Amino acid sequence: METLIWRQFEMKHPDDWEMLQFGRGPDTGRCVLADRHQYRLEFNWRRFDAPPDWQRTLSDYGNKLKTDHSNASIRPVETSGWSGLDISGKELNTSRFGRFFGEESCLVEIVFIWPEAKDSDLTRDVLESVRERPSLGSTTRWRAFGMDLQASETVTLQACVVEPARAEMRFGNGKSPIPTELFQRLGLVPHWLKGSVPQWLEMQVSSDVIDIQQSGTTIRGHDIACVEGILRQGPLRRMVRKPPKLRAAAWQCPQDGRLYCATCTDRGEGEATRLPGRRLACCPSLASEIGTR
């Protein structure tokens, strides 16, 4: 089973399921996982000030299904602290569950889509794995698209790019280019990487940064290229405020061959060498450092 960490929730799912649709909103959103053939699971969340009447919602939904799909079999089910409806019919073969998580004040709905027979063991395993993840203090953990990362609590997810051989998660505050945090996972490296990883990393930041300083380190078999510098600004901004600093680290994972890159721009004093492992991990040998200081 693979672990998905999205917002403040963690959930396990079969290894061959991948997230194809994703929601960025902190108060309401939807993620969809699929296997090679079709959608298999929906993960929906909505924040409430007080626990909603989920049983009434289920009843209303069940009545609507009976009207729209008169031949479908609809029965209430409960498992692992979740309550829902089991729906079987020619056009529908799903299981819908809901549960209110008090710490996040969030109603989570999970819908299983069954191509064939329902799998009660899989249903139980997935539902039992869902839990709230407490804040790690200054960062929030995310795990998706082959990346295990820590984003600062001062930023929110602004954009995702998920394409063949390219996954990116960009965080910011939505109003200013500072602070920003960008995490990347790039595949098919031999086909596009011209030169070394340090050369590639310098090219990524050179147009935006002055006083570039390059360094490198090795962490558990991973050769890390690091760059630090001052973000370009107009003379007036430099006089008014402390100039923002850019820190970036990139490496090619020896286990999967993909290139990983973490880039952070803020006014802090952190070091680029603390990004690999502590802020972005590619494999278990680096993920063990996630959340350490």
- Shared domain for 111 and 72, answered yes or no, is yes
Neighbour tally for 226: CB within 10 Å? 22
Q: What SS3 class is residue 122?
A: helix
139-144 vs 259-266, strand pairing mode: unpaired
CB 168 within 8 A of CB 160: yes
Q: Are residues 182 and 65 in the same domain?
A: no
Q: Is residue 173 part of a domain?
A: yes
Average pLDDT over residues 285-289: 76
Nearest to 130 by CA among 64, 61, 193, 81: 81
| pLDDT given for residue 236 in this prediction | 40
101, 132, 163 - which closes a domain? 132
In this structure, are 114 and 163 located in the same domain?
A: no
Identity at 104, one-letter amino acid code: E
pLDDT of residue 280: 96
From residue 52, alpha-carbon distances to 13, 104, 293 in Å are: 27, 13, 39
Q: How confident is the model at residue 37 (pLDDT cuts 50, 70, 90)?
A: very high
Indicate whether 15 and 149 sit together in one domain.
no
CATH code, domain carrying 63:
3.40.1000.10
Helix intervals (H) in the chain: 54-68, 120-129, 189-192, 197-205, 235-240, 284-287
- Any domain includes 292: no
Shared-domain flag, residues 122 and 155? no
**Is residue 58 within 8 Å of residue 76, measured between CB atoms?**
yes
Range of the domain at 218: 139-287
User: Mean pLDDT of all residues in the chain?
Assistant: 89
Are residue 126 and residue 168 in the same domain, yes or no?
no
Single pTM value for the model? 0.87
Q: How many CB atoms lie within 10 A of CB 278?
A: 21
Residue 186 has pLDDT above 50, yes or no: yes
Total of domains in the chain = 2
Domain boundary pick from 98, 116, 132: 132
Which of 245, 221, 222, 251 lies closest to 232 in space, CA to CA?
A: 245
Q: What is the pLDDT of residue 235?
A: 53
Bridge partners, residue 10, by sequence: 5, 131
Mean pLDDT (whole number) for 246-250: 96
119 and 178 fall within a common domain: no
Distance (Å, rounded) from C-alpha 225 to C-alpha 248?
8
Does residue 257 lie in a domain region? yes
d(CA 42, CA 23) in angstroms, rounded, equals 11
Angstrom distance (rounded) from CA 279 to CA 287: 9
Confidence of residue 136 (pLDDT cuts 50, 70, 90): low
Choose among 65, 87, 67: nearest CA to 75.
Answer: 87
Q: Across-strand partners of 87?
A: 74, 94
Could you tell me if 15 and 53 lie in one domain?
A: yes
Last residue of a domain, one of 132, 154, 188: 132
From first CA to last CA, the distance across the chain in angstroms is 28
Residue 141 in this model has a pLDDT that exceeds 60: yes
User: The tokens of 3 are what?
Assistant: 């672990």
Do the bridges between strand 93-101 and strand 156-163 make them parallel or antiparallel, or are there none, so unpaired?
unpaired
- Residue 197 exposed, middle or buried by CB count within 10 Å (0-12, 13-18, 19+): buried
- Tell me what pLDDT residue 149 has: 94
